[in-house]
Structure 1
Amino acid sequence: MTVDLRHKPGSLPSLSAESTLRELQTERGVLRYHEAGEGPPLVFLHGSGPGVTGWRNFGGVLEAFAEHFHCYILEFPGFGVSDPTDLHPMPAGVQAVTDLLDGLGLEQVDIIGNSMGGFVGTQFSIENPTRVRRFVTIGGVGLGIFGAFPAEGINLLVEFTEDPTRERLIQWLRSMVFDPKMVTEELIEERWAQATDPQTLESARRMYSRAAMKAMIEATATSDAPPAWATLHRLKAKTLIVWGRDDRVSPVDGALVPMRTIPDVELHIFPKCGHWAMIEQKEAFESTVLSFLRRGEGTAS
């Protein structure tokens, strides 16, 4: 069952977090999402990190995309907006995409995923090739070739997760952007409040504690399953990779392997841009991604 929390029938609500908020009851609890616009369905998948939400990742670009698409900004379980989960956030995220599409009766969609949302969108697209028409990933899929792993931004995220202090949050936020002026007091305060919520912090530690990172590296080294980057040739959706040239969380060399292995793929790199291309290069991002999604005759059903 889906519940429209704020929408007034017969009019498009103002595009605020409150007016666009919706709820969907699933077997795994309540999923929350933001909805606006008319047209082919387009799903936004947010990243991870302290205090993140779907709205904070994509609320600023929603108006531009809602002019052309029926937009859904999903709030992943484990980040303080949808109901919490005991699962690792990545598989919980893939399941949440399935639950959202099934619950709303969406047979085929376009997807835009930032960072973790890019990984989730990639996995969902590979597992459900007929359900994703076009896919956009923002610094969220690939394999680092030249730099050390983890990168600077991930190390700062681990430090915050292990010992959450306001100063560590600021250090991590500054690693996310090219222009440090974007890290305002307002941004710090809203992120701090959510990042230190006990349930949200517990979920973050499933991904970014030192123990979780060590377990991931060991599992990758000993598993007989192919690594995620080795399955990218199975991604059938038309794909656009966008990246910030100055990304210190997922350095831009990570785009090289997916650029060569995804069958139908394009790459766009934004200058003077960190990990949040949709925020730091907002107008260029909107123009580039809308051009890709709207190109040609076909539309999502």
Structure 2
Amino acid sequence: MFYSIINLYSNSFKTIVYDFPGHGKSDRLDRFETDFWFYNAQVANALLEELKLNKVDVIGTSGGALVGINLALENPEKVKTLMADSFEGESPLASYVSTIKEDRENAKQDSNVQAFWRSCHGEDWRSVVDNDTKVNIEFAETYTSFFHKSISELKVPTLITGSMEDEFCSHLDKIYEELRSKNPELKVYIFEKGNHPAMLSNRDEFFELTRKFINEHK
């Protein structure tokens, strides 16, 4: 998913990109953990432990943003700055979850979407997508928040970004405004144009924005 922008970041920073368990080039799982985004924050922390890394700059987009926030909430000593892009706030969007199964089945018939999923996950992309669909539904039926701690407890310098043209959520500005009401230290930047995620649809502007934010907190 990030092949097109990796060089942009690795030319300026030591860059580590990893696939969630069950995704991409990672080992396959029969099913995903229901508390998916918290579990994957634990995986990210284990990776940092294995690599003996502390005070890293974390960039997460979409579900990766939820993982990044969980990582910063649970292990703030590991995170120097956090950039969280194109995510739906603290709770699943009912409008997204209620149609995800039908939307995914329809998307499977689109050759362009098939090519994208195949490039991300390989020839078994269907099982990965099905597991992802199931976990989104299971999570919404089981939990009310993506996070185990309040967003008000997020003390790591954090930049939240998104686009007003995000096709999965047309009111990110209102969602982010609510987050800032709970934690005024959060920095917010909304792009006027660009689809989901803003990190890719506004790649150059997003990179300059994040580079500036990282350098401000060296």
**TM-score relative to the length of structure 1:** 0.61
Of the two, which has the highest radius of gyration? 1
Shift of 1:92: 3.6
When the two chains are superposed, the root-mean-square deviation of aligned CA atoms in Å is: 2.8
Give the equivalent residue in structure 2 for 1:81.
25
The aligned amino acid for 1:197 is W
Contact 1:75–1:82 under 8 Å retained in 2? yes
| Alpha-carbon distance in 2 for matches of 1:132, 1:124 | 8
Of 64, 71, 80, the match for 2:15: 71
Of 89, 102, 105, the match for 2:49: 102
Specify which structure has the higher proportion of helix: 2
Structure 2 residues not aligned, in runs of 5+ = none
Shift of 1:206: 3.1
Determine whether 1:276 maps to 2:197: yes
Structure 1 residues not aligned, in runs of 5+ = 1-55, 171-184
| Alpha-carbon distance in 2 for matches of 1:202, 1:188 | 13
Q: Percent same amino acid among aligned pairs?
A: 21
Superposed CA deviations along residues 99-123 of structure 1, whole A, max 9, x for unmatched, are: 2101111122110011111111111
Give the equivalent residue in structure 1 for 2:178.
257
Determine whether 1:238 maps to 2:164: no
Shift of 1:238: 0.3
Q: Tell me the SS of whatever aligns to 1:97.
A: helix
Give the equivalent residue in structure 2 for 1:52.
none
Distance 1:59 1:139, change over 3 A: same
Higher mean C-alpha deviation, range 228-237 or range 122-131: 228-237
Superposed CA deviations along residues 12-58 of structure 1, whole A, max 9, x for unmatched, are: xxxxxxxxxxxxxxxxxxxxxxxxxxxxxxxxxxxxxxxxxxxx1x3
Pairing 1:21-36 to 2, within 5 Å after superposition = none
Contact 2:61–2:84 under 8 Å retained in 1? yes
Q: Tell me the SS of whatever aligns to 1:84.
A: coil
Give the equivalent residue in structure 1 for 2:80.
133
Contact 1:139–1:275 under 8 Å retained in 2? yes
Shift of 1:262: 2.8
| Alpha-carbon distance in 2 for matches of 1:141, 1:266 | 16
Q: Tell me the SS of whatever aligns to 2:158.
A: strand
Shift of 1:242: 0.6
Shift of 1:275: 1.5
Distance 1:118 1:84, change over 3 A: same
Give the equivalent residue in structure 1 for 2:63.
116
Superposed CA deviations along residues 64-108 of structure 1, whole A, max 9, x for unmatched, are: 222321110111112131112344242441222012101111122
* Highest RCO, 1 vs 2 (Cα 8 Å, sep ≥ 6): 2
The aligned amino acid for 2:190 is I
| Alpha-carbon distance in 1 for matches of 2:116, 2:194 | 22
Q: How many residue pairs align between the two structures?
A: 210
Distance 1:143 1:94, change over 3 A: closer
**TM-score relative to the length of structure 2:** 0.82
Of 207, 212, 215, the match for 1:291: 212
The aligned amino acid for 2:68 is G
